[in-house]
Structure 1
Amino acid sequence: MSLVLCELCLLAIALGQVTISVLGGFFLMVGVSLDPTFAHPVMGWVVGGGLAMVLIVLSVLLALLFAIAMIGIALRTKWGWWLALVLAGLYLPGLPLISLPLLVVLVRLGPPHGD
Structure 2
Amino acid sequence: MNATQIDDSKLLIVTGHALGGSIASLFTIWLLDIIGSGKKRPLCITFGSPLIGDQNLQKAISQHSTWNSCFFNVASHLDPVPRMFISPHTSPLSELSTQTIVYKPFGTFLLLSDKV
TM-score (norm 2): 0.25
Higher relative contact order (CA 8 A, sep 6+): 1
Q: Pick the structure with more helix per residue.
A: 1
TM-score (norm 1): 0.25
**Higher gyration radius (CA):** 1
Q: Pick the structure with more strand per residue.
A: 2
